Amino acid sequence: MATIRVYKDEAHGDLFPRVCMRCGQLANHDVPQNFAWMPPWVHILLFAGLAPWLIVALILRKTMRVTAPMCDRHRGHWRIRKLYIGLGLLFWIALAIGLIAFSDQLPEDAVMPAFAFGIFGSLFWLVVGLFLVNGSIRATEITENRIELSNVHKAFAQAWREILDEEREQRPVARRPRR
């Protein structure tokens, strides 16, 4: 897996190679994805409380929309993760509310197993979710004018570099700083 850099004026994806960002095979879908990023140190503020963290995170959070070429198999690369997280969150919240509201109506010997299922099940779900997000194509930096994406297939990164080199040769006056 590789890391690529995309400038804001390239994020529409028209210049991208027709190569799937995930597997390097032929891409036949253009998948728009909103990436978000904030400096990692922001999370240290969680120790100071939820409110300071939230305020700084909202100020420093940067987003960029990139239209990524994807193959048939990977067109749902981000959607499937969002579903896993969104539906999972709904399920565990509903379960927690249900358990708290109806715990006195459960048979006595079912209360402990039900709570244990809730606690260990949601922890397991969370760990799997972290692995899924960490392994996905994600932003490792976003600035005013560019985005860095990691977990991109190296065939895509290679083809993208060649396109940029070619473009730079055609325009002797550098449009962007050399990378």
Segment contacting Zn ion (CB under 5 A): 51-59, 71-79, 126-134, 160-168?
A: 71-79
Distance CA 173, CA 179 (A): 15
Residue 26 vs 130, nearer CB to Zn ion:
26
- Six token digits for residue 70: 């994807």
Can you list the positions of beta strands (E) in 79-172?
Answer: 138-142, 146-152
Q: Build a one-symbol-per-residue string for 14-33: x at contacts with Zn ion by CB under 5 A, - elsewhere.
A: ------x-xx----------
Distance CA 34, CA 82 (A): 12
- Decide if residue 74 touches Zn ion (CB under 5 A): yes
Residue 71 vs 142, nearer CB to Zn ion:
71
Residue 16 vs 37, nearer CB to Zn ion:
16
- Decide if residue 71 touches Zn ion (CB under 5 A): yes
Distance CA 158, CA 79 (A): 26
Please give the single-letter amino acid code of residue 39: P
- Decide if residue 56 touches Zn ion (CB under 5 A): no
Least distance to Zn ion, CB of residue 106, Å: 46
Three-class SS state of 159:
helix
Write out the residues near Zn ion by the rule CB under 5 A.
20, 22-23, 71, 74
